[in-house]
Amino acid sequence: MDVRKDEFEKLARENKDTIYTVCYMFSKDRDEVADLYQETLINLWKGMPQMKRDGNVRGWVYRVALNTCISMGRKKKSRPTVRLTMDVDPFEPSDERTTQVGMLHRRISKLQPFDRAIVLLWLENISYDEIGKMLGISTANVSVRLVRIREQLKKMSND
């Protein structure tokens, strides 16, 4: 059995929720989330030889997922797409909590990709220090940006 394959399968299995969460924050469409997830797995596989074994694996997975989603978002903007829609969404939730989560997701999706990444990491209960290290900014900058992002989210409409 290939050791690299086993290592990758373990990495993907242990971090599937993290990868999915990042992908979900960058798209509302289930098919697109699946594409982002798959593209992230491809990039993780390609990047495994460069991954530091003694480093923060979770942080590395976050960075790869975030960079993949941001890159795919840029590519998507440069290509026109035709969206197919259904009049009825059989998966549409109806309870109040799910509705609030959906509203929060819509608002977060309106943020710039870097701000989305900060919010996502904060929602995952990652410390300001670790967020700063992952994104290459200071801890103080993380704090200031989160305050600004919260204000921005409060001012958004419920579209």
> Under a CB-based contact definition with an 8 Å cutoff, are residues 37 and 20 in contact?
yes
- pLDDT, tens only, 91-136: 455 566 677 777 777 888 888 888 988 988 888 888 899 888 888 8
CA-based angle 42:60:103, to the nearest 5? 85
Comparing CA positions, the residue from 156, 31, 35, 33 lying closest to residue 106 is 156
**Rg of the chain's alpha carbons, rounded to an integer?**
17
Neighbours of 52 (CB within 10 A): 8
Q: Name the class of domain 1-85.
A: mainly alpha
For domain 87-159, give the CATH number: 1.10.10.10
The set of residues, in sequence order, having a beta carbon less than 8 Å from that of 129 and lying 6+ positions away, is 139
Enter the pTM of the model: 0.61
Q: Is 115 exposed, middle or buried (0-12, 13-18, 19+ CB in 10 A)?
A: middle
Residue, of 158 and 20, whose pLDDT is higher: 20
Delimit the domains of the chain by residue range: 1-85, 87-159
Instruction: Give the separation between CA 37 and CA 18, rounded to whole angstroms.
Output: 10
pLDDT in tens, 23-61: 888 887 888 889 999 999 999 999 988 776 657 888 889
